[in-house]
Structures are given as C-alpha cells and as structure tokens.
Amino acid sequence: MNKLKIGWIGLGNMGTPMVKNLVKAGFEVMVYNRNQEKTKALQETIAIRVAGSPADLVTETDVIVTMLSDDTAVKEVFLGENGILSIKPVKDITAVDMSTVSPETTLQLAATCKEHGFSYLDAPVSGSVKPAEEAQLIIMVGGEEEVYQKVKPVFDALGKSSVYLGENGKANVAKLAINLFLGITVQGLAEAVVFAEKNGLAATTLLPLINAGAVGSGMTKMKTENIINNDFKAAFALKLLAKDIRLAGANGLNTPIGLSLSNTLDAAVQKGLGEDDMIAVLKYISEN
C-alpha cells in the first residue's frame, strides 16, 4: 500500500524534529511555515516540498498535520485567508491537530471540517524536544476510530505509542490533565530546592536524595542538570505551560494547587521568564 502523503504546518521546536522523523520513515512531506527562513533551513537538510499557503496542502496531500503554539494560531491556518478550509477537498483527507489547544477549539474545528468534507483528529503529544527528536512521544488521539486507524502509521513514525481515547476533545482533556500534573511537579521541585537553599542545603546535595527516593520521577531527574547548571534553555517554554494551565482553568480547573500554579506561572511570565524553560519557575520563586 502506498504511504500517505503528509502536509505539515508548524516548524517550531517540536515540529521540526517530527518532520525529520516522518521523512526518515519514508513519508513524502510537504511543509508550510510562516517563517520561510525555517523552511529553507530544513529544506537544506532533508527532502521536503514547500507549500505557499495552507490551502496548497489540500490538493497535494492525504493528511495535514498542524503543530502550532496555541488556539489562535491553529484557527488561523484552518479558517484564515488561504487556510486549509478555504478549498474543498476532492478526495478523502484528514486534518490532524497535534497542538495543545482547548477542547472547545477542537470541537469547533472538527464540526467545521466535517461541513467542508474533511476528517479531523485531535492528537496532542506528551513529551518535549528530546522525545520528539527520538520519535519517543506519546500521542493521545480523539476523533473517529476508523480515521485514527488510517492515520496510525503517521503516529507510529512520530512516537513510541499512540492511544485512541474516543470522541474529539478527549485527547485535549488528557493533555491538559497531564500538563497540570507536570506543572505541579515542576513547581513542587522548585519550591523544595528554594526551601533547602534558604536553609543552607545546596541543590547539588538535595537533588540526588530526591531522585533516589519515592518522590523522584523522570521529570525530577530530567531537570536536575538544568537546576545544578543554572541552565534554563527552553525544552518546554514556561509561557507555553502557563498557557496550558490557563486553558485548564477555562475548562473548570479550580483546585487549590492548580490555582496557585496558574498564578505562579502567569507572574513568572510577567517577570520576563516566559521564553525560558518551565523549570525557570525556580528563578521566580527564589526571588519572590
């Protein structure tokens, strides 16, 4: 069976390595990105075709994947001028949004896609840049199961597993819940380090104890080196985590820790830490 032809929109920290993995797996990929310099740079390293607009992907591909920063950006490439939905498909084509957006955005786009003759899956991922580079993402999928099965070979090239969760929007809920727990873990780790250092115990001493015990996790181990080396280069930008927690708030999050986390992240962004990695919340807490 011939492989699906893939259209891809979004060449950020996640999108670029994901496209590379699709090409490595043998898929023909056509890319659209607003920043043409990123597209040209990628075209010099791997064999991709370049689209002039999102609409161009509709006639040239079987599956169009979006991997963008937020709800506004996703809606723009679907609904804007020369967007995906500005052209009626002449064949079976599936739109797959792998961004972290609200369930409401997904339901709106899924319904609009159906009206225009497209299938639609929400498929956000668990994992940051390194898992994206190593095709070790966990992919959560909402939509029609038959459509998921058709697109599954694409997910297989991008992650270590994909999980079908049911109707559109369910994958978004799962992603927001995971990122809520992620944020709580990161803020808890930061607060523990700040508390220890204020009482004369260095992070270099505390962190190995955390990682060796019951409270240690993949995340605490992953961020240990960043904390010790004072390295806040973004694997997952603090501003994006803050955005995700705000989305959770818009969908009913009102628990004590969740509200505290949202306030802390928003304040850290206001302090200019949004472009840093999420563990830079430690800098905000230590200074306030």
Using an 8 Å Cβ cutoff, are 254 and 206 in contact? Answer: no
The DSSP letter of residue 279 is G
When pLDDT is averaged across residues 182-196 and rounded to a whole number, the result is 98
Query: Looking at the structure, do residues 224 and 116 belong to the same domain, yes or no?
Result: no
Helix, strand counts (H, E) of the chain: 13, 9
Task: Work out the end-to-end distance of the chain between its first and last CA atoms, rounded to an integer number of angstroms.
Answer: 59
Same domain flag for 157 and 111: yes
Taking only the tens place, the pLDDT of each residue in 24-61 is 999 999 999 988 888 989 999 999 999 999 999 999 99
Residues 67 and 114 in one domain: yes
* Shared-domain flag, residues 161 and 182: no
3-state secondary structure of 183: helix
**Of 20, 170, 175, 243, which one is the catalytic site residue?**
175
Among 122, 144, 166, the domain-final residue is 166
Same domain for 27 and 148: yes
Q: How many CA atoms lie within 13 A of 100 on its CB side?
A: 24
Burial class (CB in 10 A: 0-12, 13-18, 19+), 108: middle
> Which pLDDT band holds residue 2 (cuts at 50, 70, 90)?
low
Distances (CA, A) of 247 to 53, 62, 270: 28, 30, 18
**pLDDT per residue as tens digits for the range 125-180:** 999 899 999 999 999 999 999 999 999 999 999 999 999 999 999 999 999 999 99
Residues 135 and 94 in one domain: yes
Q: Is 91 a catalytic residue?
A: no
Same domain for 152 and 22: yes
- Do 14 and 104 fall within a single domain? yes
Same domain for 159 and 224, yes or no, is no
* Same domain? 193 vs 226: yes
Give pLDDT tens digits for 227-272.
999 999 998 999 999 999 999 999 999 999 999 999 999 999 999 9
Q: Whole-angstrom Cα distance, residue 114 to residue 122?
A: 14
User: Between the CA of residue 257 and those of 127, 174, 241, 260, what are the distances in Å?
Assistant: 23, 18, 15, 5
- Say if residue 1's pLDDT is above 70: no
**Residue 113 structural domain:** 5-166
How many CB atoms lie under 10 A from the CB of residue 163?
A: 15
pTM value surpassing 0.85? yes
112, 136, 166 - which closes a domain: 166
Domains identified in the chain, total number: 2
Domain containing residue 13: CATH number: 3.40.50.720
Among 166, 195, 224, give the residue marking a domain's end.
166
Query: Same domain, yes or no, for 40 and 109?
Result: yes
The answer to whether residues 182 and 273 belong to one domain is yes
pLDDT of residue 251: 95
